[in-house]
Structure 1
Amino acid sequence: MDSAVTILVGVAIFVGIIGIVVPVLPGAILSLAAILVWAIVERSATGWVVFAIAAGLIGVSQVVKYVVPERRLREAGVPRRSMFFGVLLGIVGFFVIPVIGMFVGFPVGVYLSELQRQRNNAAAWTSTKHALRETGVSMLIELAGTALAAAVWLIAVLFIV
């Protein structure tokens, strides 16, 4: 196995993990794609087993990152519509205020949608805090799945291959 490829794959996995925390890149997908490239170049059963485990871990985290926060938001009474407006303003904010606009636009979008729905500042702010908390939970779930996949890859590189 070419060590340059291994290093580049490691860098791509790391950049993918950063992309989860700073949502500019599709972090989990980038990390999984890097592990796939490694498995293709590795050309061994170990490479494909590592890729399968990584795909399973990342796949499960992708499902869970939507299911758990969605259920909690529903229990807190925050409708999907408010999350939609938060994401929409987050995207707009990303282009209007580079780098930090997404982090400004999302809560503003949720807050404005909730303020329009509930007609109460305190209730809108409470809903916004729930949405922010569950967005953080979603990111942590995706981060955990991708970090576990990266750990499986790293163990294979250091101790098996």
Structure 2
Amino acid sequence: MAVLVGLVGIVVQVLPGSVLVGSAILVWAIFTGGTQAWVVFGVAAAAIVIAEVAQWLLAGKHLRKANLPWATLAVGGIAGIVGFFVVPVVGLFLFFVGAIFLLEWARHKEVAAAWTSTKAAVQATLITIGVQLIGALVAAAAWVIGLFLT
């Protein structure tokens, strides 16, 4: 169940999904024991770590290309967290996008440039979610295979 909740957490961006998936597989490996369980955990952990590194590299490259400051993303992220509580679930996306648009509009003084930067931020977020999800799905697949082998 924790693996499934972790996968959902990656998509919804409310829970640290990859950490939850990896931790659940670690707990399974501890309780299952044996070489096979630890090999499965090693494969799962490697998939999650590779995905975490890849998401930073790919999203960072995308953001540098769009010339979007990290401070804008940080404020957008904080606004998204606040928005999640103000308007449950949907507020996360609305406040994130709104904050980035407003900050970029203030920076560029043009609506078109602000919207271009906002789209780049949303694309980078989607890249991050996609890469994390792929890594966690590989980890979950290794765990399912491990269930059958142990």
TM-score (norm 2): 0.96
Q: Which runs of 5+ in 2 are unaligned?
A: none
Q: Give the alignment partner of residue 154 of structure 1, picking from 144, 147, 150.
A: 144
- The structure showing larger relative contact order (alpha-carbon pairs under 8 Å, at least 6 residues apart) is 2
Match of 1:101 in 2: 91
Partner of 2:47: 57
- String of CA shifts for 1:34-69, please: whole Å, max 9, x gaps: 101110111111111111111111011111111211
1:102-160: per-residue Cα shift (whole Å, max 9, x none)? 111110111011001000001100110111011001100000000000001111112x1
Distance in 2 of aligned mates of 1:119 and 1:81: 18
Given that 1:115 and 1:124 are in contact with CA atoms closer than 8 Å, whether structure 2 keeps it comes out as yes
User: What is the match of residue 27 of structure 1?
Assistant: 17
The normalised TM-score by structure 1 is 0.90
CA–CA distance in structure 2, aligned partners of residues 26 and 77 of structure 1: 27
- 2:124 maps to 1:134: yes
Report the residue type matching 2:69 in the other structure.
P
In structure 1, list runs of 5 or more residues that go unmatched. 1-10
2:88 aligned counterpart, secondary structure? coil
Does the CA contact (< 8 Å) of 1:83 and 1:131 recur in 2?
yes
How far the C-alpha of 1:24 sits from its partner, in A, is 1.5
Structure 1 Cα separation of the partners of residues 144 and 35 of structure 2 = 16
Q: Work out which of the residue numbers 40, 65, 69 in structure 2 matches 1:79.
A: 69
Does the CA contact (< 8 Å) of 1:65 and 1:141 recur in 2?
A: yes
Runs of 4+ aligned structure 1 residues displaced above 3 Å come to none
Aligned residue pairs total 150
Structure 2 letter corresponding to 1:31: V
| Identity percentage of aligned residues | 43
